[in-house]
Amino acid sequence: MSRYDDIMNHAHHISATRPQMSVINRAAQFAPFAALVGYDDEVAEAARLTEKKVELSEEETARINGVLQLIQSRIAEKPVVILTYFREDARKTGGCYIPLCGTVKKLDPYTGKLHMESGEEIAFEDIADIALESHET
């Protein structure tokens, strides 16, 4: 004999004065809540991976500089380039490499930046690879 035998076979009580709670509202009572607001975001940020900027060899740097000089000589033709550059992460050490294909608007040797028509400004030192797009058919 159990200590609850006297109530086991009773009908479920339904109040005559108060409306029954909906299933959604009942379920909400047991939903998890964030006791530490922003904790999940911080954990996700800590788990997000960044890359270290790769140091280019003298040969790679010379090749990139050669392509930049070629772009400068053809700037009036609005050359289209395919490049990969390093973008520093604003929140963590490191960053990521971004591929980009677009038209060069301006090449500024004084600021050391490549200005694209799409609005990106890419520092020469952040360029990991660059090539002129060929228009051959």
Domains, the chain, with CATH or none: 58-132 (2.30.30)
SS3 content of the chain, % helix, strand, coil (to 5): 25, 25, 45
- Select, from the ranges 27-31, 32-36, 37-41, 97-101, the one with the highest average predicted confidence (pLDDT): 97-101
Query: What is the rounded average pLDDT of the residues 20-33?
Result: 82
Q: What average pLDDT does the structure give for the chain?
A: 89
Whether the predicted pLDDT of 31 surpasses 80: no
Q: Name the pLDDT band for 137 (thresholds 50, 70, 90).
A: very low
**84-98 burial, b for 16+ CB within 10 Å, e for fewer?**
ebbeeeeeeeebeee
Nearest to 99 by CA among 83, 81, 88: 83
Q: Which residues contact 20 (CB under 8 A, 6 or more apart)?
A: 14
d(C-alpha 104, C-alpha 73), whole Å: 12
